[in-house]
Amino acid sequence: MICGRSCCAVLLLCFISCSRPVVARDPAAPTEEWPTYGNDPGSSRYSLLTEINKENVGKLKVAWIYRTGDMSEGRSTWKGQRVPFKSTFEATPLMTDDTLYIATAFNRIIALDPETGREKWIFDPKINRIGIYGDSFTCRGLASRVDSRLLRGQMCRKTIYEATQDGRLVAVDGETGKACAGFGTAGEVSLKIGINLASGIDHVIPGEYHFTSPPAVAGDVVVVGSAINDNDRVEMPSGMVRGYDARSGKLIWAWDPVPRDPADPARATWQNGANRTGAANVWGPISADPVHDLVFLATTSPSPDYYGGERKGEDRNADSVVALRASTGKVVWSFQAVHHNLWDYDLPSGPSLIEIVRNGQRIAALAQPSKMGHLFILDRDTGKPLLPVEERPVPQDAVPGEWLSPTQPFPVATPRLAPDRLEPQDAWGLTPWDRGKCRDAISSLRRDGILTPPSLQGTLEYPGVVGGTNWGGVSFDRSRGLIVVNQTNIPFIVQLVPREQYKGGSDKGGSESGWGYGLMKGTPYVMRRKPLLSPLGLPCNPPPWGTLAGVEASTGKIRWQVPLGTVGPFGWGTPTLGGPLTTASGLTFIGSTMDSTFRAFDTETGRELWHASMPASAVATPMTYRAHVGGRQYVVVAAGGHANVPHTKLGDYVVAFALP
């Protein structure tokens, strides 16, 4: 058994017992696997397992730890430019056929024994690490498929799929760790083919078009989105979504969220003709309903994020939940959550397929969270809201050349899950001095409420670009009808600088620290943004800065909402990345916070029942399974910190918990 490459016992103190014998369990107990990223194709992140329950969760101990060895805090150079070479470990493992599969930050696929954490095999796609891969190297997970036409022992009866950061879809035999020779060329297909032609650009900068989230499998089709760097220029690569034959790797269909065809009904909402802009990609996880031949996509903003003068109009299909026919890629329906997005308020996670109850009848639905703290409940078959959504007037008066939608959609039944207004009198600080500094900073900004457009003065964006809810999505407890979702509550400052006034070059804003810049080439402006922090480095808004909530799916009522995470000894909450796991025993497990703690909550009340210190922050979504041998239930989470969060430790740990 591999229990860490440098003895993890010191790091987790009394929580680990590497040599603990496996306790016998009822051999007749059912095996429960975790075969897809969200457990089921519809991304419920819910398990039927009940061995770990409210009464005994306090006894959980570390069963084993595995270290991937893939971690970097260094930097690299491309064409003389220093670029991030940092890693962030955000993966959720799969467990199927008595093997646990985990993807590392550098796209290595590692197969482990689910009982012991012992390494079975490693597949290394040997990615090209030179390029501008967003903010850091990361891979959130894998997809799996068992081919019913093949027998055990035949080549690639069970296939593990991964979209690599350097633009390949690889297929690996889940039993041997060898490439599936019949898939594409030597087990892989290029995902870069055609992306520049679709959006009319003549080149792609290495790393700007990459992949961070897992593919989705719907029947015989593997569906892949993409991640595209933000705010560099107008003419970015296409955000097209593609479906490939699961056996051969042959391209079956491609769908571009930006409507290039003048006959497309969505094209009329793109007043500039949708000829120059790219992106609107699907960078977060994808959900599927294979029984009804559907995949559900959460699309993002067209390029660039903060100025839309080159893409005037509502930009339909962008920033939308879109249902496609999985076998053909044809649009079934589309629901837009943000019209003409100027705030980076994209939909970062695919929806979770749920059911709600109306007049005693169960209705197929889906839950879509957003960075704005909104939660939309839509009909799964039509995309129509099942809980009311209304168009409300929003602030106007944008910079010259911009176009604004006069209204935006707001859910009515569910109150906002994250605050959306911050006034000078609301300023928070540890002392009168830093509170006064925050008050002055807030006073200097344009702040007409949520969806105040970016400005030359500087705009208060609240919630900030992290959310609300980010790529972790929600979990749906089917037995209780509760949606569990975590949020971040951190305001940002967004400012547009006329291009002729931009001094250029610095990602630190000259003598001012903390600014991040987007050049938005092809527009009249350069964008800069940063979190609104006090001189002491704490947010200028009152805590909590991260929360966890339980929402009744059928009514939208918030059952409970509690702070998530600690700052020192204070329960002020922290920013959150990753999402929750719920189980039939009434437990919610979640890491997500920046305080290196993994927690279990009562799903019905939000009361914390248990927590464990981790070797690094667990900014990943946990999973659970019952092992084949002995019938023991495990809860597993990756602990890797985050490369872009200051003062957090990076890690490469896979940590499994179980009852003693």
Task: Report the C-alpha gap between 462 and 250 in whole angstroms.
Answer: 44
Is 344 designated active site? yes
Task: Report the C-alpha gap between 111 and 125 in whole angstroms.
Answer: 14
Q: Helix (H, G, I), strand (E, B), or coil: what is residue 441?
A: helix
The β-bridge relationship of strands 251-255 and 241-245 is: antiparallel
Take residue 508 and report the two structure tokens written for it.
């630190």
Q: What are the Cα distances from residue 126, in Å, to 108, 117, 577?
A: 8, 23, 27
Task: Report the C-alpha gap between 581 and 548 in whole angstroms.
Answer: 12
Nearest to 603 by CA among 562, 557, 556, 636: 562
Instruction: Tell whether omega for the bond before 393 is within 30 degrees of 0, i.e. cis.
Output: no
Task: Report the C-alpha gap between 608 and 601 in whole angstroms.
Answer: 4
Q: 95-125 as b/e, with b when 16 or more CB fall inside 10 Å?
A: bbbebbbbbbbbbbbbbbbbbbbeeebebeb
Task: Report the C-alpha gap between 252 and 268 in whole angstroms.
Answer: 27
Take residue 299 and report the two structure tokens written for it.
């699309």
What residues have CB less than 8 Å from 126, skipping those under 6 apart?
A: none
Q: Which amino acid is at 303?
A: S
Q: What are the Cα distances from residue 305, in Å, to 268, 486, 520, 522?
A: 20, 24, 9, 13
Contact (Cβ atoms closer than 8 angstroms) between residue 493 and residue 445: yes
Nearest to 244 by CA among 143, 149, 125: 143
Nearest to 168 by CA among 156, 147, 185: 185
Cβ-based burial of 155 (10 A; exposed 0-12, middle 13-18, buried ≥19) = middle
Take residue 624 and report the two structure tokens written for it.
């659970």
Q: Helix (H, G, I), strand (E, B), or coil: what is residue 168?
A: strand
| Residue 138 CA, distance from chain mean position | 11
Catalytic residue selected from 70, 220, 344, 477: 344
Nearest to 210 by CA among 277, 246, 258, 162: 162
Task: Report the C-alpha gap between 553 and 314 in whole angstroms.
Answer: 29
Give the number of C-alpha atoms closer than 13 A to the C-alpha of residue 10, restricted to the C-beta side.
3
Contact (Cβ atoms closer than 8 angstroms) between residue 629 and residue 654: no
Catalytic site residues?
Answer: 344
